[in-house]
Amino acid sequence: MQFRYTILFVEDVAASLAFYERAFGLTRRFLHEGGDYGELATGETRLAFSSVRLMRDLGKTPGRPRREAPVFEIAFETDDVAAALDRALAAGAAAVQPVRQEDWGQTTAYVSDPDGYLVELCSPVPGA
């Protein structure tokens, strides 16, 4: 079995794709012609977006992300966390945690995207 994608439920799929392209330098794989689903290329695993409207049409009731009480995060690994943080903030991300050196040797920072999802920007874990 292979982990293929993570789907974030958002109000405006096109706007979310554009934000992730600007903020994190990701490449768009596609946006469905109806505008309710799209994917970004992130290597082996894709980051996908589905509209809240589509999920409701499919009989699901997605919750809303809460910046102050996240239940998960997505993480982007980079060798320059400070530059990644600056780029994300310039693209409209909200700062959650400034660049910090962790006890285990990793550098991290956190932002939230315009929909409220928590995004970690991190260096590789030493020795991993």
Using a 10 angstrom Cβ sphere, with 0-12 exposed, 13-18 middle and 19 or more buried, the burial of residue 93 is buried
Express each pLDDT in 80-95 by its tens digit. 999 999 999 999 999 9
Express each pLDDT in 20-51 by its tens digit. 999 999 999 999 999 999 999 998 899 999 99
Per the structure, how many domains does the chain have? 2
pLDDT of amino acid 120: 98
Residues 41 and 82 in one domain: no
Express each pLDDT in 95-119 by its tens digit. 999 999 999 999 999 999 999 999 9
Instruction: Enter the tokens of residue 88.
Output: 């994300």
Instruction: Give the sign of the dihedral formed by CA 109, CA 110, CA 114, CA 115.
Output: positive
68 within domain boundaries: no
Residues 50 and 81 in one domain: no
- The residue whose two tokens read 């690994």 is 77
pTM of this structure: 0.93
